[in-house]
Amino acid sequence: MRHPLRLSLALAALSLPLAGCGLQPIYTGGGDGFVARELAAIDVPAIPGREGWLVRNALTDRLGRGSSGSTSQYRLDVVLDDDLEGLGLLTDDTIGRQRRILRARYQLVDVTTDTILIDATAGSDAGIDVVSSEFATIAAEQTALENLSQEVADQIVVRITRTLRERQ
């Protein structure tokens, strides 16, 4: 019985320095909190291309756009650059490795004042082995694009969340 009490006291003593560090949860109030409501009020217009479709879907999922019937207070304009470059030239002059790079330039615009709140970039890249099977190589390229779309969307949402939290 004494052991759990000691453990509780030790944890309480260790958590005291954290109380004064100024850290606050971003999503205070959960789905009804300020940041969650502001994220749900961001409209993401269509982005051209397959990579645009993937990034837009990832963004709307993360922003919670369909969960509330809120009107759009912000617009997120995204321009993508998807590049596939060959690396690792083999002795028979074939490419042995590729790198897929997905970069996004995005702007968060307050639609009521037409003010740009964020003008930034996000991006990521992935390595792809080129194998003898063309089907396997194409499948790896598509999987890399899907994963990169998720990563870029995560980077964008984190930056937007921090900015909205600071505006609060």
Domain ranges of the chain: 25-167
Confidence of residue 36 (pLDDT cuts 50, 70, 90): confident
Report the C-alpha gap between 118 and 105 in whole angstroms: 10
CATH architecture for segment(s) 25-167: 2-Layer Sandwich (3.30)
In the chain, the percentage of residues whose pLDDT exceeds 70 is 79
How much is the average pLDDT of 120-130? 93
Predicted pLDDT at 15: 65
Instruction: List, for residues 37-58, the tens digit of each pLDDT value.
Output: 888 899 999 999 999 999 999 9
Spatial distance between the Cα atoms of 59 and 74, rounded to a whole number of angstroms: 14
**DSSP code of 113?**
T
